[in-house]
Amino acid sequence: MRRNTIGPLTGALLLILGLFLLLNPAKLHSATLYERYMVVNHNGQEILCEPYIVAGNDSVLKLFQQKGEISSRDFPDFLYLLQQVNPLIPDVNHIRPGEQILIPLKKLVPRSFPNQERGIVDIPFITITSIPDILKKHAQPHKVQKNDSISRLIARHYGPYGSRSYQEGIDIFQTLNPQISDLDKIYAGQELFLPKASLKSELYYSALFDSSGRLKQESLLDDLEAFKDKKAQGQASVSSLMESHNPYKIAASILNGRLMDSGVYFFPSENGTDVQLDLSLHPLIEKPNGEKILFVSNSMTEKEKAAVKNFWPAVTLNPVSANNPIETIMESLSLSKKSGEPSKDTLSFADMALMATLKARWIFETTDKANGETVKNAIFLIQSPSEKIPDTLCHYLNTKRIIVKDILQKGAAKGEPPAYFKKGYVAGENKTISTTDKKSFINDLVIALDLYYAQNIRISFPYSGIQITAFASLISTGEGQELLVDFENIYGDAFDAIKASGFTIISVKKMARATTVIKQILTSLDIPYKESPLFKGAERSAMKENLFLQIKGGYYIERKNHRKYLLLLNPIPEPIVRFLQESGIDIISIQA
């Protein structure tokens, strides 16, 4: 049965069980080494956790730097989940040596692992390590000799051509030598890496291949190594910031392609003399679908272009100088509407009460190699690291098949860190109040807005020549504005007489809608608010290119010398709530 929460006893027993199994992995399986992890269900989200015994020099910051996808992407979320999955630890900021804890590594989608619903998963230890790194330990350098061929080199240690063992050797060779795109074309003097026969004697060798005998490279293996070691994570990060000042490297990353900007290609020509293509002068980008884009300078002759086109018929020749900025390069690839004009590329979608709109410099589609799905890429040019889209929002957009890439332009300022890493920063709170009972609703609403509230205040006012006493509730801003609230106890002329006496008073009907009550209170107290407010995803000086988040039916309040508040009458995605809280906004969810 799937666990919805972890009670103290259950959590402790599972932790002890997980640690025992983790420390005795060989007893689980004889052929392959495994590690056992826990799956904790927190508020409907399944979290993959690693059982861990705190060492003498451990700290939360050290664990944050070393452990997992969650910590590398979102430190506040890591701290929050660390506390939630360890209910027996009073304060996760003060962990002690010898304590047994669970470290949240990764948020899972259902059925990511076999038997995930049971709360315990076994993961092959080999999948935690980068496969290319393993292969390099069992590889030897080889300088190509005349009459060498890849098939003969591989067959020496991996069996005859066409056998399964031979195919395994070829897959390993291609992983060790990603620069070789055509196995039939190698030349004398070329430096290669050949797989050693010793690799086949390793216990984990069979775990390197799937059921069809092909090397596992882009499935669960790459995904798992990302959260096991932050240093090995690299391309798995969804952080949007791209800091390279090499425009061709940026363009290749945007296109999910491979940049070749060093070395020399030799192409045969009609007169028998090889044509040399210096990639440092003419960079080449190869896209995932095999399409090649060559950036040619004015020094390239028509003869050289013809030789390249003859060898690569589908190559695109782009006459762009190496000194041109990223804007010129990208626009030359037809990713912009019109060269020299601000982008009009816009992408919008709705999710619950959220309407999200991306207005980027470029928006275009690519195909995800792993699953063949179409993803949208939104590219922004920014002036400072502080202008990047926060990782919280990047993760959320990834779930919508949208990839954000922020390009830090050359000569950009250093910028400030995110607000929630600054000393003295206080994140917003998240509260829920009910509208079932109007008196309780107003009481909770006023307190959540940091106003003053007193119930059943005696008031006295003249009516028809006599002094009348009545009771009402009082709301005060503490800055001179006061409001009386009547719950249908005062009627007719008496209500008007109270107003004539100088009081500000509203009557709250039993069946009044929450929106009506909210507007009554805010308007009567002269508290400004924005209905269906619009928030920027990043703090940028220019409003035209950003991620815009509109909260339909929400009320945003920003009082001078006070906190900021967002009243939600309809739910919005949880990552958006966290982003707003990180921006210092109190979230007040109003439920019927």
Q: What is the pLDDT of residue 531?
A: 96
Whether this model's pTM surpasses 0.75: no
What is the amino acid identity at position 439?
K
DSSP assignment of 490-504 equals: S-HHHHHHHHHTT--
CA 156 and chain centroid, separation = 45
Q: What pLDDT sits at residue 62?
A: 66
List b or e across 406-438, with b for residues whose CB sees 16 or more CB atoms inside 10 angstroms: bbbeeebeeeeebebeeeeeebbebeebebeeb
Pairing state of beta strands 402-408 and 241-242?
A: parallel
- The pLDDT tens digits for 424-481 are 445 678 899 999 999 999 999 999 998 999 988 888 888 888 888 888 999 998 888 8
Predicted confidence at residue 211, as pLDDT, reads 60
Alpha helices in 220-260 (DSSP H): 220-228, 247-254
pLDDT at 286: 87
Task: Mark the ranges of the chain whose per-residue pLDDT is less than 50.
Answer: 1-33, 125-129, 203, 218-239, 336-343, 419-425
- Cα separation, 105 vs 108, whole angstroms: 10
pLDDT score recorded for residue 345: 82
Whether residue 415 contacts residue 384, with contact meaning beta carbons closer than 8 Å, is answered with yes
Please name the residues in contact with 511: beta carbons below 8 A apart, sequence gap of 6 or more.
Answer: none
pLDDT in tens, 51-110: 877 777 777 666 655 556 666 567 777 778 888 888 777 777 777 777 778 888 888 877
Per-residue model confidence (pLDDT) at position 118: 63
